[in-house]
Amino acid sequence: MFKFSFISLLFTILILFSGIINAQNFIERRDAQFVSGITISSPAAGSKFSSGDNLDISFCADTDIIYVDAVNLTWITGSLICSTTFNIELLTNIKFEPNKCQTLTCKIPQNVQPDARYVALITYNNTTPISGSFFINNPDFGLIVTNPISNTDAECGNKLKVEWKDPFSKYQDLDLEIVLTTVKPPYFISSLASSVPVSSGEQIVTLPQGLENRKDYNIVLRVNRTDELGTEVYTSIFTIDGC
């Protein structure tokens, strides 16, 4: 009887211990998924498209994510809280192979108005990574960020040259703010420079100390304007080596 009870107790302990290990693994996987997630590599910042064109949205899912809720075409005008004034849902409930880079092709609808603030946005697990900003239907305004680009590899604590163009001279008498962000959680936001004249076309900024080594940083140019031409322009994602 004692032998049977001891074996039963040992078996029960092993089951409980196995359950704890599995629960810990589940939590770790969920945490890792939340931290890593999806990054969008194209369309590249400054790209130009027209209604009816195919829009190739390339992204990498570096976790066990196997589907996304939606792919949207949108533009953002407000603050970094993402005040969205235009939105079209292109695809929904897309399944794909995890831990791979892939491309989704969407056709740009005919009812898209000319604008320079478009981004592709992927929604999954209440997270919304975005692409760099691009043009659709030849707008007569908008900034183009020419540096940093997607293959930039910067280092925290060092200098970084941010460059842009104002091809239609719509913002020459305005200032902008340069903000460093990440597109995946845990999110990072830091203002690198403010009251920078758009007409200067460039600004040398110093990257903060203590940044994590990540591949999902981007630069946001926030033009200080509140009317219909108010804008935020996003670069393509790039890498910063942590320190």
Output the pTM of the full model.
0.73
Q: What is the pLDDT of residue 7?
A: 34
pLDDT digits (tens, 9 = 90+) for 169-220: 988 999 999 999 988 778 889 999 999 999 999 999 999 999 988 888 999 9
Q: Do 215 and 232 meet the contact criterion of CB atoms below 8 Å apart?
A: no
Distance set, CA 139 to CA 52, 58, 114, 153, 243 (Å) = 16, 24, 5, 31, 41
Helices (H), the chain: 2-35
Burial 96-124 (b: 16+ CB within 10 A, else e): eeeeeeeebebebeeebeebbbbbbbbbb
Q: Do 52 and 108 meet the contact criterion of CB atoms below 8 Å apart?
A: yes
